């Protein structure tokens, strides 16, 4: 059951942390090597997602700090 839930959450619901929980419990059903591969892949994808979210936040916050003349756009709409 845990292997099926790990696959479901990894591929359909995209709930990677929950998929990892089930993958850890599915080692006996899946075998040690395949289980390690699945868990490693899930951990990498989780880390990539966290890093991507941090990068998005950094880009958004740097755009918010731009002076108004840069934020107004090429037509100068909204500039003083």
3-class secondary structure per residue, 35-79? HHHHHHHHHHHHHHHHHHHHHHHHHHHHHHCCCHHHHCCCCCCCC
- 78 assigned to some structural domain: no
* DSSP 8-state assignment for residue 72: S
Task: Report how many domains make up the chain.
Answer: 1
CB-CB contact of 23 with 35 (8 Å): yes
46, two tokens: 């989780």
- 61 assigned to some structural domain: no
- 79 assigned to some structural domain: no
Residue-wise pLDDT for 8-66, tens only, equals 999 999 999 999 999 999 999 999 999 999 999 999 999 999 988 888 887 877 767 66
- 38 assigned to some structural domain: yes
- 35 assigned to some structural domain: yes
* DSSP 8-state assignment for residue 13: S
Range of the domain at 21: 2-55
pLDDT, position 59 = 80
Average pLDDT over residues 69-78: 55
- 80 assigned to some structural domain: no
- 20 assigned to some structural domain: yes
79 pLDDT higher than 50: no
- 45 assigned to some structural domain: yes
């Amino acid at each position: 059951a845990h292997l099926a839930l790990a696959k479901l959450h990894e591929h359909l619901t995209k709930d990677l942390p929950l998929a990892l929980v089930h993958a850890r419990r599915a080692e006996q059903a899946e075998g040690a090597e395949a289980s390690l591969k699945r868990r490693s892949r899930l951990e990498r994808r989780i880390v990539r997602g966290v890093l991507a979210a941090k990068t998005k936040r950094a880009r958004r916050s740097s755009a918010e700090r731009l002076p108004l003349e840069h934020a107004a756009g090429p037509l100068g709409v909204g500039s003083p």
